[in-house]
Amino acid sequence: MDEQFWNERYSSRDQLFSGAPNGVLVTEVAGLPPGQALDVGCGEGGDARWLARRGWHVTAVDISRVALERAAGAGNGNPAIAWTHADLTVTPPPAGTFDLVSAQYFPIPHQEHHTAVRGLLAAVAPGGTLLVVGHDPADLSPPHEHGSDPGDYYHPREIAALLGDDWTIVVDETRPRTAPAPEGTRHTRDTVLRARRR
């Protein structure tokens, strides 16, 4: 799932996703005071635009330039959103910077020293929130979508196990999706991790 993969996937249709914010993001973040947010794997920008409308300043990062161009076009030049091309599994975001780090269905490949995950955790400022959402592994049985093995990527509960004493876990659960699954998928439940850095 490299840059070429995602560019080709976004280029395969005029709009890959709905443009609406992810339901878990709306549920978990609506009550938080706005600040600096990192939208990990922002895609076509639905989450970033929703956050910006609620007063957040958003760094919206994606590996796909196709997705970012589409997102920026739909964002109407909103100065509260910085559309950023980067591979966060290789280059970590700045540490201690964000009041919210949101990773919605973002595929982070397993690494021996958990480098990419630790980079995302480090990006959360003191008092900030980490929100990681994935598909329930039970919904990801073979055949695997796009030729990938779900076992090669972190699930929210694995990330929860990496949190140290400076974190408070607020939510660590599996719940029904709030919206229908994307076309052609079988995803009926989400796994949700929300944690606060002390």
Q: Specify the pLDDT at position 193.
A: 98
Where in the chain are the domains? 34-197
Give, as one character, the DSSP assignment of residue 29.
Answer: H
- Each residue of 163-185: pLDDT tens digit? 999 999 999 999 998 877 666 66
Query: Are residues 89 and 108 in contact, defined by beta-carbon separation less than 8 angstroms?
Result: yes
- Provide the CATH number for the domain formed by 34-197 in this structure: 3.40.50.150
Structure tokens at 161: 């196990």
What does the pLDDT average to over 87-111? 95
Cβ neighbours of residue 179 closer than 8 Å, sequence gap 6 or more: 18, 20, 23
**Is 45 strand, coil or helix?**
coil
**CA 1 to chain centroid:** 15
**CA 138 to chain centroid:** 20
**Is 82 strand, coil or helix?**
strand
Structure tokens at 40: 């990990």
What does the pLDDT average to over 5-12? 72
Structure tokens at 73: 């076009």
Q: Where are the alpha helices (DSSP H) in the chain?
A: 3-11, 23-29, 46-53, 65-74, 115-122, 156-160
Q: Which helix (H) or strand (E) segment is 92 a member of? A: none
- Distance in angstroms (rounded) separating the CA atoms of residues 21 and 46: 5
Across the chain, what does the average pLDDT equal? 89
Amino acid making up residue 73: G
- Each residue of 118-169: pLDDT tens digit? 999 999 999 999 999 999 888 765 545 555 678 889 999 999 999 999 999 9
2 or 166: which leads in pLDDT: 166
Q: Specify the pLDDT at position 128.
A: 98
Query: Are residues 133 and 191 in contact, defined by beta-carbon separation less than 8 angstroms?
Result: yes
- Distance in angstroms (rounded) separating the CA atoms of residues 94 and 103: 16
- Each residue of 25-47: pLDDT tens digit? 999 999 999 999 999 999 999 99
